[in-house]
Every structure is written in structure tokens, then in C-alpha cells.
């Protein structure tokens, strides 16, 4: 009888024990997180280029970006305190998170290049978010802006800053930001970019494609190395024409340190591009690292939560 | 809220497309530098009006690197920084004078300055 009871108890508890095993196995499988990868980059900019990050719903981001003069070369050195006496571009922006995936913003830049006094309207939409289980292996964010210059028109039609009508003042950027975060330390981005400028100088190009790459390597919870580089595709005839006139175009390269101070994301960076907006630094960079024509710059971001 | 955002998005897209155009500036006319007679006084008057009158290149203040407070200093700068001067003052995408509501130099003026430099900055 005792044997029968033991057998009964064993038979009744066996499925439960087996079920426990199965549950453990299932737990093991489900330990792979299925949620979205966050903080691929800490800021909405890598250095010059955009990152995949958008603002959280209701967040207002106040941004200040500054690029100083050449550190070396004929315009740099100790006489300008390594470029700090000059500023090539300054941008002040307000960006707002309409939803967690959609950011809109406005900005004013000094401008550097053939156009100055730039007013920008921008939008950024997170289309795909990378997931931890690799169901979605990359994040995709779309960025677009429209920029208008408020500068006075040049008197001569040969100038790129001659504005026969309002549309001549406009330039645009369209960009896809494809990103992947590898573990906690490394994030990479590829940025196929299209720039359209309504009016350009003779032999310059209205439409320009460029390919950007960027990355972030985290050293600690607060400090990371950030890099971005753009390869603009300019027609050879255009390059030759400008080269004959002493103007050579270079590819923008930015290298910097990103510091998360808690409320601020602070970028200390070095770049050869003088301009801050894509509409200018991609098609119009004429300064090169080799001649000491790189500069110190910073991006400061301060976020305010306006959501209740 | 969604319909407002959709409407706003559509309006922006329409404005984006409608305001798009593609135009290139005409080829700059080849001013005959060989026959042009330009003296230093004329060029320096242009420099004073556009570069030093706004306290930008007088020396002593920022930016100190390009000091145009006298004709001799202007010539000295150009001799030492020929390519930078060409790029930023007389080239096709010249960006001087910068911002602050100063008008861009007309092409004819840029050509005259380039011609003066090319001829060795005669007095």
C-alpha cells in the first residue's frame, strides 16, 4: 500500500517536475531580449552628421554648435590662439519630440561658404529600431531639412548668392541614417545623403549625392570617441573647373569626444569642415586636415521635458 | 492631433516640392586683366569699405591674423597667404565679407582684386 502511495505521488508530481524543466528551458530561450536597442548614439548628432536618435515625446532640445577657425596653417597658430579668435560657423537650434519617433526643429546658423544667415526647418523620423534579438538587425532613421538664406542678394548674376527669386535662396538635405549597435561599446552608422541646392555657381552641381559613415566607441558610461566622415560625389568636370581657379574640395572628417554630464551631452570635436549644416559642409568643404585647416568645435545639447 | 500632423506634413512636402528648382549662375565674364589698369589706391578703398570699416580686419582685435589696417599690411598678408586670399576673397565660392549683413563683393570687384594681385599689386 505504501509502495502504491509512493508511486501515485511520484506519478502525479512527475509532470509538474517535467513542466518545471520545460519552463526553465523556455526561460532560457526567452532570456534573449526582444525589445528595441536604445542609446545607439547618445546625441542626435554624431559630430557633423546626424545620428539615428530622435527625441522622446515632449522633449525640447536646445542645441548650440560652434566651429572655430583653423588650428594650424596660415590662419591658425598662436597668433589666433589656434583658431579660437575666429568662428567659422555658429548654430542655435530648438528641436522637439512630437512623438518618440518623430522630431521637428528650427535653427539659425551663421553659415560658412557662399551663403550665410541660414534658417533651417528640419524633421527626423525613426522608421525602424534595431532589436536585441536581431529580428530587426539595423535601425533606420530618415532626416530632411529645408534651409533658406536671409542674406542680401549679390548684385551680379554670376554670383551663387544672387537671388532672382525666393526659391534661389533654398537648399535641402535628404538623408537615411542606417545604424547598428554592437554590444554596449560600439555603434556604427551609414548615411546615404542627397543635397539639393536651387541655385549654385557656374559649373557647381545642384544635386549631389554623398555617403557618410560614422561611429561611436564607448570608453565608460560617460565618455565615448565619436567619428564621422562624408564622401561627396562631385562631377569630375566641376572639380576640374574649380581646381583651375584655385578651389579644391575635400571630404569632411570629424573626430571627437562625447561627454555625458547628466543633463548635457557635450561634444569636443575636431573637423576640417567650416560649416555645420549638411547643406554646406558636404558640398562646400574647401579646407583640409593636411594643411592644418581643421578646427576645434563643440556641440552642446540641453534637454527640457515639456511633457506632463 | 494625428490629422493636424498629417496635414502639416503634407503642406511641408508640397512647399518642399514647389520651391524646388535647379539653376546655375551664368559663366563669369572674362574680364580682360591684361588691359585692365588698376592701382593700389582703388583696391585699398574697396578693402577699407568692405573689410576694415566693420572692425573686422583692423589688427589688434579678432581676427588678428588678417590685418588690413594699411596698404602695406594688406600686401604683406596677400604675399604670405596668397591661396587663402584667393579662396576666400576672389574665388568662385568666396565667403568674404562674412555675414553680419555685409553685402557680398560683386564679381567685377573680385575680378579687379584678383587682377591687381596677379599683376603684382602695382601702386
Residues 6+ apart with CB under 8 A from B79: none
CB A22 within 8 A of CB A245: no
Handedness of CA A113, A114, A117, A122 (dihedral sign): negative
Distance of alpha carbon A151 from alpha carbon A153, whole angstroms: 6
Confirm if A306 and A58 have CB atoms less than 8 A apart. yes
Output the CA–CA distances (angstroms, integers) from residue A16 to A13, A19, A20, A23, A24, in the order listed: 5, 5, 6, 10, 12
Other Cβ atoms less than 10 A from the Cβ of A152: the count is: 14
* CATH classification at residue A282: 2.40.160.40
Q: Is residue A112 part of a domain?
A: yes
State whether B25 and A162 contact (CB < 8 Å). yes
Residues B70-80, mean pLDDT to the nearest whole number: 89
Q: What stretches of chain B show up as alpha helix (H) in DSSP?
A: 2-18, 40-47, 71-80, 82-85, 107-118
- What is residue A226's predicted lDDT score, i.e. its pLDDT? 96
The pLDDT of residue A262 is 78
How far apart CA A67 and CA A106 sit, in angstroms, is 19
What single-letter DSSP state applies at residue B4? H
Residue A14 lies in a domain: no
Domain, as residue range, for A131: 37-298
Residue B98: list chain A partners with CB under 8 A.
110, 116
The C-alpha of A20 sits at a distance from chain B's nearest C-alpha, in angstroms, of 47
pLDDT for residue B12 is more than 80? no
A247 vs B: CB within 8 A: yes
pLDDT at A282 over 50: yes
Q: Is residue A308 part of a domain?
A: no
Residue A188 falls within a domain, yes or no? yes
pLDDT of residue B51: 85
Interchain proximity A167–B5, CB inside 8 Å: no
Please say whether the beta carbons of B91 and B81 come within 8 A: no
Asked whether the beta carbons of A250 and A217 are under 8 A apart, the reply is: no
Q: Count CA within 13 A, CB hemisphere, residue A89.
A: 30
Confidence at A30, pLDDT banded by 50, 70, 90: low
Grid coordinates representing B24? 546655375
Segment B80-98, tens digit of pLDDT: 888 888 888 887 777 788 7
* CB spacing of A159 vs B19 below 8 angstroms: no
- Please tell me the pTM assigned to this model: 0.77
Pairing of the two strands A295-305 and A59-70: antiparallel
**pLDDT tens digit sequence for A252-268:** 999 999 988 877 778 88
Distance (Å, rounded) from C-alpha A146 to C-alpha A106?
Answer: 10
Flag whether residue A191 sits within 8 Å of chain B, measured between CB atoms: no
Radius of gyration of chain B (CA): 21
- Burial (0-12, 13-18, 19+ Cβ within 10 Å), B81: middle
Structural domain includes residue A83: yes
Q: 3-class DSSP state for residue B23? A: strand
Residue reference for cell 545623403:
A193
Structural domain tally of chain A?
1
Residue A223 placed within a domain = yes
Tens of pLDDT along A288-302?
A: 999 888 999 988 888
Q: Tell me how close the Cα of A295 comes to any Cα of chain B, in angstroms.
A: 15
Q: Does A154 touch chain B (CB under 8 A)?
A: yes
- Among residues A91, A58, A90, A84, the alpha carbon closest in space to that of A70 is found at A84
Question: How would residue A4 be classed by pLDDT, with cut points 50, 70 and 90?
Answer: very low
Residue A150 lies in a domain: yes
Provide the pLDDT for residue A301: 87
Query: What is the pLDDT at residue B64?
Result: 56
User: Would you list which residues of chain B are within 8 Å, Cβ to Cβ, of chain A?
Assistant: 5, 12, 15-16, 19-29, 62-66, 80-81, 83-84, 86-87, 91-95, 98-99, 101, 103-104, 106-108
- Per the model's pLDDT, the better-predicted residue between A227 and A31 turns out to be A227
Contacts A167 to B, Cβ<8 Å: 19-21
Determine, yes or no, domain membership for A8: no
SS3 label, residue B24 = strand
Amino acid at each position: 500500500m505504501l509502495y502504491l502511495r509512493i508511486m501515485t505521488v511520484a506519478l502525479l508530481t512527475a509532470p509538474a517536475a517535467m513542466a518545471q524543466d520545460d519552463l526553465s528551458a523556455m526561460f532560457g530561450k526567452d532570456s534573449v531580449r526582444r525589445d528595441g536597442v536604445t542609446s545607439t548614439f547618445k546625441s542626435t548628432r554624431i559630430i557633423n552628421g546626424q545620428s539615428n536618435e530622435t527625441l522622446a515625446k515632449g522633449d525640447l532640445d536646445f542645441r548650440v554648435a560652434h566651429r572655430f577657425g583653423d588650428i594650424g596653417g596660415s590662419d591658425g597658430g598662436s597668433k589666433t590662439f589656434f583658431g579660437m579668435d575666429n568662428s567659422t560657423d555658429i548654430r542655435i537650434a530648438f528641436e522637439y519630440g512630437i512623438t518618440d519617433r518623430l522630431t521637428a526643429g528650427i535653427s539659425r546658423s551663421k553659415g560658412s561658404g557662399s551663403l550665410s544667415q541660414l534658417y533651417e526647418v528640419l524633421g527626423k523620423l525613426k522608421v525602424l529600431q534595431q532589436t536585441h534579438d536581431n529580428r530587426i538587425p539595423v535601425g533606420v532613421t530618415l532626416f530632411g531639412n529645408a534651409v533658406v538664406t536671409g542674406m542680401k542678394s549679390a548684385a551680379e548674376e554670376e554670383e551663387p548668392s544672387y537671388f532672382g527669386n525666393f526659391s534661389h535662396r533654398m537648399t535641402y538635405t535628404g538623408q537615411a541614417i542606417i545604424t547598428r549597435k554592437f554590444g554596449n561599446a560600439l555603434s556604427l552608422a551609414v548615411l546615404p545623403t542627397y543635397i539639393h541646392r536651387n541655385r549654385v555657381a557656374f559649373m557647381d552641381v545642384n544635386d549631389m549625392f554623398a555617403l557618410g559613415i560614422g561611429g561611436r566607441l564607448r570608453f565608460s558610461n560617460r565618455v565615448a570617441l565619436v567619428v564621422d566622415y562624408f564622401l561627396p560625389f562631385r562631377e569630375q568636370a566641376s572639380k576640374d573647373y574649380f581646381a583651375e581657379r584655385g578651389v579644391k574640395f575635400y571630404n569632411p572628417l570629424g573626430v571627437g569626444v562625447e561627454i555625458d554630464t547628466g543633463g548635457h551631452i557635450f561634444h569636443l570635436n575636431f573637423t576640417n569642415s567650416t560649416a555645420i549644416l549638411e547643406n554646406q559642409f558636404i558640398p562646400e568643404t574647401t579646407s583640409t586636415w593636411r594643411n592644418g585647416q581643421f578646427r576645434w568645435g563643440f556641440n552642446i545639447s540641453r534637454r527640457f521635458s515639456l511633457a506632463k | 492631433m494625428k490629422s493636424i500632423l498629417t496635414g502639416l506634413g503634407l503642406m511641408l512636402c508640397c512647399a518642399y516640392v514647389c520651391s524646388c528648382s535647379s539653376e546655375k549662375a551664368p559663366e563669369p565674364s572674362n574680364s580682360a586683366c591684361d588691359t585692365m589698369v588698376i592701382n593700389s589706391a582703388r583696391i585699398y578703398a574697396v578693402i577699407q569699405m568692405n573689410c576694415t570699416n566693420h572692425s573686422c580686419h583692423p589688427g589688434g582685435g579678432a581676427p588678428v591674423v588678417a590685418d588690413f589696417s594699411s596698404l602695406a599690411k594688406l600686401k604683406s598678408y596677400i604675399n604670405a597667404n596668397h591661396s587663402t586670399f584667393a579662396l576666400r576673397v576672389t574665388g568662385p565660392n568666396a565667403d568674404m565679407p562674412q555675414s553680419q549683413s555685409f553685402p557680398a563683393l560683386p564679381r567685377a570687384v573680385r575680378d579687379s582684386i584678383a587682377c591687381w594681385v596677379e599683376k603684382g599689386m602695382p601702386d
